[in-house]
Structure 1
Amino acid sequence: MFGSLKNGANAYAQVGMETGVVAASPHHLIVMLFDGAIIALQTAKRQMQEANIPAKGKSISKAIAIIDGGLRASLDKNAGGEIADNLDSLYEYMSKQLLMANLKNDPAILEEVTKLLADLKGAWCAIDDQAETFEEPAVPVTRNAYDPLAPNISTLVKA
């Protein structure tokens, strides 16, 4: 009749993640993609050790989707020049390695790609830290006509 407690917790976590995505800067969204791919690979490694082949395949596929559909797709090769081209090649390499890891059931390949992602994430976070040091003070955000997260003042009860 009612959803299980686990389903409720998962729904709550999903709302938290979606709220984080909406509120995140473009730079932080990339960090979230790195985190998602790393978590998927850590999960895949555990599933590989448990011989849970279907789940391992799903986790590796999720990591590949994040790398190709998120990180690689977000590259601006016109603005990024050689760096974007090099990252594109690295992301392509990672995806191919993950396919091989899945086929060969090789946790060492998962570890290699996880380390590459962690190194890139670290560099990406360092860039953000430097950018924050040199940024101008933020301009106050103006409210849109409709903000679903803002309280509706007209419906508040006065004490």
Structure 2
Amino acid sequence: MNFFRHRSLGLLAPALLIAVAGCSTADDNAAVAVPSPDAKTAKVCRELHRVLPSKLDGHGRNDPEPRSAYTAGWGNAAIILRCGVTRPPKMIDPKVAEGADPDAIAGGVDGVDWLMEKQGDGSWRFTTANRTAYVQVSLAKGMSAQEEGSTVLTDLAASVRKAIPKGIASMR
């Protein structure tokens, strides 16, 4: 059962953001994998790309290679966004819904629900929930989730709310 369909998420407690020590695997030299969304998802991802902010947490827009309407970046690969990704497996794991998985935290920031997953290297990845497309945000290692992470998710919330309607994304 997809717990995001039935579980209302409140605001992400600041304590959870403090617990998120590092962020994702964005690498200055790494190419960003471009998602391959279905037609319906592609449409909302293109709209999101159009309304994304020019700055996030003081970092200017600097889209990664290869250029795509399904990816965006800020800074020198400090913040990477991918729209139309597949649903993270932990999003349907009942242990996450019960709070038993310490590597995944579910919460909301300014009206957007997120699954925050700890990666194998200790970094974190954020994926939207309860939206018609999955949007994934990765932060470079060394960025503080308490400071930069909370600012990035807050700064992205208006764009996500505007472009990606509430609902259930495709099961792919």
> Is TM-score (shorter-chain normalized) higher than 0.5?
no
Q: Which has the higher contact order (CA 8 A, sep 6+)?
A: 2
Q: Which has the higher strand share?
A: 2
More helix by share: 1
